Amino acid sequence: MPVPVEIRIRTLATGGDAVGHPTTTHAGAPATWFVAEALPGELVLARTLRTARKHVVAAVEQVLEPSADRVKPPCALAGTCGGCGWQHVAPAAQLGLKLGMVKDALRQLGVEPVLGDAPAVGDGLGYRRRARLHYRKDGESFVLGFMRKRSDEVIDVPACPVLVAPLRHALTRLRRVAALLPAHGEVHALTDGKQVALGLAGVRPTDELRAALEECLDRVLVGVEIRGGRARIRVGTPVLEIDGGGGLPPMLASPFVFTQARADVNRALLRHVLGRAKPHGKRVLELYAGAGNFTRALARVASRVWTCDDDRESVGLLRKLAEAQGLPINAKHGDVAALIPRIASGATRYEVVVADPPRGGLGKEATEALAVVATERIVLVACDPATLARDLEVLVRHGWAIDDVTVFDLMPMTPEVECVATLRPATGITAANPAKPQA
């Protein structure tokens, strides 16, 4: 067993691990340590998990000098469950720490990120409206919850405190059919705030299971979709209408499509993207549009919105939304990363491009193509500051200027952070005369 090492924590890396250095150096030993669950300014004893050539990955063994931002976790499973990584961080301090992570990631670009206009975090509990849980069966035992930290073992979570009450209610009712489920699997859960739809992946539909699930339905749990291979059955109504109101049509969503976890901040995020995109009367291209979180707002004022996403179900739901609401949306299913270079090689251009890629970002080739496809504005939404910085650097080299980067906290109690970057052509750069790419 490695001897714990005394580490002084300096900052936080993207992803939430703390970065620090040993108080006593040894010849040949890595000077940089990444320590999970430590906070800036703390002095900790850290236990080595693995060693690389230039750094050590470690976990806190003991906090010798705690930060003022360290608190007792509100969840009894915080030291065991891997579902939330920041239960030990004071809720009021979490957004500032996330802003600091983004600032560090963008330092080389000379960008000063700011906080978005969004509801306060509060206590960081009872906000999640969607979740993906795991279950395991062993004889009569049924475990439903999240993975143990740094493990693929499922631990039972009877009442997760970060989930909204309707989700907790629905998951409790699902336990009634445990005997009819396979040995292991996933549960996808989504609520509109009042009603819940569940999705069971990798489950062979049977008449017995269908009947049992029908008995589980009530005024809160209104639908379950079962998917096993190519077989699918729906019990009740597993597609919900979410985030409508104020003149904005609701988005159609099932438990299997992506939706933001926090409804109130998502509304603020949507308003921000719409305000930065300035799509009024413009041709808009939206990449990784999903089921239309941003699309439905863009399409109300744009001349037309063309979208692309690689999730077939999300595209189908967006098409239904466009038809039902009479919105000028052309929704395409396809490989977004391959589509952008194809558009760039042709003559079609869009005044506004909005992109919300997955954690890996757009990537070099797609970002270079995006710099050509857009003519007036690019709004880039990202959930990873490091890949955002990489993609922004490419856009800047290809003639775009960063107006602002704004930070939103859609997932309290975790180090996850959402960023929105707005770009315009740099002075003297036009779509017809793009900057020559630098080597």
- Provide mean pLDDT across the span 100-129: 95
CB atoms within 10 A of CB 151: 10
**226 shares its domain with 285:** no
Check if the beta carbon of residue 47 is closer than 8 Å to that of residue 37.
no
Instruction: Please answer whether residues 109 and 396 qualify as being in contact, where contact means their C-beta atoms are separated by less than 8 angstroms.
Output: yes
CA distances, 93 to each of 62, 99, 104, 409 (Å): 21, 10, 17, 12
Same domain for 168 and 286, yes or no, is: no
Percent of the chain surpassing pLDDT 70: 97
Higher pLDDT, 124 or 53: 124
- Token pair listed for 148: 């143990």
- Rounded to two decimals, the pTM is 0.93
d(CA 431, CA 372): 7
Average pLDDT over residues 337-366: 97
- Report H helices in 150-301: 165-174, 207-216, 263-277, 295-298
Question: What local confidence, expressed as pLDDT, does residue 432 receive?
Answer: 36
Each residue's pLDDT tens digit, 27-66: 667 889 999 999 999 999 999 999 988 899 999 999 999 9
Residues 163 and 306 in one domain: no
Per the domain annotation, does 232 fall within a domain? yes
Other CB atoms within 10 A of residue 79 CB: 11
pLDDT in tens, 182-222: 999 999 999 999 999 999 999 999 999 999 999 999 999 99
- The pair of structure tokens assigned to 198 is 């569940």
Average pLDDT of the residues in 331-346: 97
Residues 235 and 283 in one domain: no
What is d(CA 408, CA 370) in angstroms, rounded to the nearest whole number? 24
Q: Is 252 left (phi over 0), alpha (psi -120 to 50) or beta?
A: beta
| Options 81, 216, 383, 419, the catalytic residue | 383
Q: Is 89 exposed, middle or buried (0-12, 13-18, 19+ CB in 10 A)?
A: buried
According to the model, what pLDDT value does residue 437 have? 34
Residue 92 lies in a domain: no
Strands 283-287 and 350-355: parallel
Residue written as token pair 């299997």: 256
Residue 212 belongs to domain with CATH number:
2.40.50.1070
Listed residue (191, 297, 202, 168) closest to 254, CA to CA:
191
- Structural domain contains residue 80: no
pLDDT for 428 equals: 52
In this structure, the answer to whether residues 404 and 290 fall within a common structural domain is: yes
Q: Could you say which of 178, 208, 240 is where a domain stops?
A: 240
How confident is the model over 134-168, as pLDDT tens digits?
A: 999 988 899 999 999 889 999 999 999 999 999 99
* 81 in catalytic set: no
Tell me, yes or no, whether 432 lies in a domain.
no
pLDDT (0 to 100) of residue 433: 39
| Residue 291 confidence (pLDDT) above 50 | yes
CA–CA distance, 417 with 98 (Å, rounded to integer): 6
260 and 251 Cβ atoms separated by less than 8 Å: no
How many distinct structural domains can be found in the chain?
3
Q: Assess whether pLDDT exceeds 50 at residue 80.
A: yes
Average pLDDT of every residue of the chain: 94
Are both 110 and 147 inside the same structural domain? no
Q: Other CB atoms closer than 10 Å to residue 25's CB: what's the count?
A: 10
As a whole number of angstroms, the distance between CA 22 and CA 3 comes to 13
User: What kind and span of H or E run contains 312?
Assistant: helix 312-325
* Alpha-carbon gap, residue 136 to 155, rounded angstroms: 9
The answer as to whether 76 is a domain residue is no
Asked if residue 201 is part of any domain, the answer here is: yes
Give me the domain span that covers residue 403.
103-120+261-425
121 with 167: CB under 8 angstroms?
no
Q: What is the CATH number of the domain that holds 383?
A: 3.40.50.150
Rounded to whole angstroms, the Cα distance separating 163 from 172 reads: 12
Output the CA angle 290-294-295, nearest 5 degrees. 75
Asked if 161 and 29 sit in the same domain, the reply is no
What is the model's pLDDT at position 355? 98
Q: Is the pLDDT of residue 25 over 80?
A: no
Predicted local distance difference test score (pLDDT) of residue 140: 83
Check which CATH number belongs to the domain holding 49 and give it: 2.40.50.140
Say whether both 138 and 273 belong to one domain. no
Q: Is the pLDDT of residue 97 over 80?
A: yes
Q: Which two tokens stand for residue 419?
A: 């960023």
Contacts of 100 (CB under 8 A, 6+ apart): 11, 12, 40
Query: Hey, which bits of 273-312 come out as E strands?
Result: 283-287, 304-309
- Straight-line distance from the first to the last Cα atom of the chain, in angstroms, rounded to the nearest whole number: 48
Identity at 164, one-letter amino acid code: V
Residue 97 in any domain: the answer is no
Residues 383, 311, single domain; the answer is yes
- Position 267 confidence tier, pLDDT thresholds 50, 70, 90: very high
Do residues 16 and 148 both lie within one domain? no
* More confident position, 196 or 427: 196
Helices (H), 147-262: 165-174, 207-216
| DSSP letter assigned to residue 4 | P
Confidence of residue 1 (pLDDT cuts 50, 70, 90): low
Q: Which band of pLDDT confidence, cut at 50, 70 and 90, is reported for residue 119?
A: very high
Q: Are residues 215 and 273 in the same domain?
A: no
What value does the mean pLDDT take over residues 358-375? 97
Spatial distance between the Cα atoms of 109 and 396, rounded to a whole number of angstroms: 9
Strand (E) or helix (H) holding 373: helix 364-373
Q: Is 158 helix (H, G, I), strand (E, B) or coil?
A: coil
Q: Are residues 139 and 175 in the same domain?
A: yes
Look-up of token digits 């539909």: 205
| Distance, C-alpha 45 to centroid of its chain | 31
Asked whether residue 134 is domain-assigned, the answer is yes
Per-residue confidence band for 439, with pLDDT thresholds at 50, 70 and 90: very low
